[in-house]
Amino acid sequence: MRSAAAPAASAGATHATGAQPPLSFADAANLLLVGTTAAELLHVSRAQPGETALLHGAAGAVGNSVLQHVRHLGVRVVGTASKANFAFVRQFGGTPVEYGTGLLERIRAAAPEGISAALDTVGSDEATAVSLALVPDRRRVITIAAAPRAKDDRYFFVGASNPQKRTVPCPRSLSHPRACRQGVLTVPIAQTFKFEDAPAAFAMLTGQHRPGKIALINEN
């Protein structure tokens, strides 16, 4: 891991904002992480009203935020997930398809109109192969999880390690803190842990757990 948990961090005033009620600190921190990532995926993919996009990892935290964003953009999403998470994907407006053998055919059946863009939050070989098979324009295949493959196959990686990455402003209609306070965006939280229970949080993170973010809370 190149990152770690700490009880405190320093930041300039221009790079920080307060967590305003009714947002909890867990909501605010995860809104920053997943909301801005989702906004960037959609911005770079150039998703347009009336199009259908493929989303790998639709039940994950970033995937869930993508689903919430596209409801206000008029974009239909077919999202990969396990069968156990189909109801969660549908709850946020996505059309779920099960990943695994036969995925390409299942997506084509679910989206006979075709796939205009693919957003990958998983990084698997399957996700890459299916995305490239379905989306004619590789500039509209975007990943946050497969940087080496994206470089080799000439599609787009967005992430902090990408020197081409730019700060992408959220559309005014979806200004994240305001939208969350108004209930337009939500941040599903699977569980919170006290900071001293970080090992248990990481154990949960690397295993099977219900959809939602896992947050460490420093109560000092």
What is the reported pLDDT for 160? 62
**How many helices (H) and strands (E) would you count in the chain?**
9, 8
What's domain 23-160+167-179's superfamily in CATH?
NAD(P)-binding Rossmann-like Domain (3.40.50.720)
Q: With 90 as the cut, is the pLDDT of residue 124 above it? A: yes
Mean per-residue pLDDT of the chain: 85
CA–CA gap between residue 220 and residue 204 (Å, rounded): 23
Q: Give the residue, 163 or 194, on which the prediction is more confident.
A: 194
Q: With 70 as the cut, is the pLDDT of residue 165 above it? A: no
Which amino acid does the sequence have at 147? A
Half-sphere exposure for 131 (CA within 13 Å, toward CB): 34
CA–CA gap between residue 171 and residue 131 (Å, rounded): 26
Identify which of 123, 121, 126 has the alpha carbon closest to the alpha carbon of residue 107: 126
Terminal Cα-to-Cα distance of the chain (whole angstroms): 25
What is the reported pLDDT for 17? 66
Return all residues near 89 (Cβ < 8 A) that are at least 6 apart.
58, 59, 67, 79, 81, 95, 96
If you average pLDDT over residues 123-144, what whole number do you get?
A: 97
Q: With 80 as the cut, is the pLDDT of residue 140 above it? A: yes
Percent of the chain with pLDDT over 70: 82
CA–CA gap between residue 115 and residue 118 (Å, rounded): 7
| Token pair for 72 | 């206000």
What is the reported pLDDT for 27? 78
Q: With 60 as the cut, is the pLDDT of residue 171 above it? A: no
CA angle 67, 210, 25 (to 5 degrees): 75
Task: Classify 141 as helix, strand or coil.
Answer: strand
- What sign does the dihedral 104-82-86-78 (CA atoms) show? negative
Q: With 60 as the cut, is the pLDDT of residue 98 above it? A: yes
What is the reported pLDDT for 32? 76
CA–CA gap between residue 40 and residue 197 (Å, rounded): 32
What is the reported pLDDT for 7? 73
34-65 pLDDT per residue, tens: 888 898 899 999 999 999 999 999 999 899 99
Q: Give the residue, 185 or 68, on which the prediction is more confident.
A: 68
